[in-house]
Amino acid sequence: MYLTMKKQSCVDPLLISAVLLLLLLATDCVVRAQTGSYFPITNIKDPYLQEVGQFAVKEYNRESRGELRFAKVLNGEEQVVAGYSYKLVLAAENGSVTTNYEAVVWEDPQQVTHLVSLNHVIDN
Ligand SMILES: *[C@@H]1O[C@H](CO)[C@@H](O)[C@H](O)[C@H]1NC(C)=O
């Protein structure tokens, strides 16, 4: 009787450790995704991202009386914050010169977009 009881209550400690470890790893991933560092955007041709780039140029022109003409988003990273933050490298024409700019656009939780910054890409 004693032996049977003992056997029933005995769960393999290795199994428990494995499950706990998995839980920890899963939690860690979720937390990281939420508090997020920037991660690369892979679907750069997504029309929405091109729109975000276009918005950045339009907003820059409005705020700084610039005359940039949006060409396209070349690549970018995104960050989960309160809403989303996009850091995009985009090409725009400034007069007859096409230049690459880095634009940071924040889409707030109400899905309103704000231009945070737009600067020349500094080449290394
Ligand atoms: C656009 O070109 C003008 C003239 O070269 C320059 O002064 C200005 O800083 C440029 N604007 C941007 C946003 O690069």
DSSP for residue 39: E
Does residue 94 have its Cβ closer than 6 Å to ligand 1? yes
Q: What is the pLDDT of residues 58-98, one digit of tens each?
A: 999 999 999 999 999 999 999 999 999 999 999 999 999 99
Q: Let me know whether 50 and 111 are in one domain.
A: yes
Q: Let me know whether 14 and 51 are in one domain.
A: no
Of 1, 84, 69, 70, which is closest to residue 39 (Cα–Cα)?
84
Q: Let me know whether 81 and 99 are in one domain.
A: yes
pLDDT of residue 32: 46
Q: Let me know whether 60 and 103 are in one domain.
A: yes
Domain that holds residue 16: 2-35
Q: Let me know whether 64 and 14 are in one domain.
A: no
Q: Let me know whether 19 and 79 are in one domain.
A: no
pLDDT of residue 37: 85
Q: Let me know whether 68 and 114 are in one domain.
A: yes
Q: What is the pLDDT of residues 1-32, one digit of tens each?
A: 555 555 555 567 666 566 656 655 565 544 44
pLDDT of residue 40: 94
How many A from CA of 79 to the centre of ligand 1?
Answer: 29
pLDDT of residue 52: 97
Q: Let me know whether 22 and 45 are in one domain.
A: no
Residue 36's pLDDT band, with cuts at 50, 70 and 90, is: confident
Q: Let me know whether 30 and 43 are in one domain.
A: no
Q: 20 or 50: whose pLDDT is higher?
A: 50
Tell me whether residue 57 is exposed, middle or buried, using C-beta atoms within 10 angstroms of its C-beta: 0 to 12, 13 to 18, 19 or more.
Answer: buried
Residue nearest atom 2 of ligand 1, based on CA coordinates: 94
Report the domain count for the chain: 2
Q: How far apart are CA 8 and CA 50, in angstroms?
A: 60
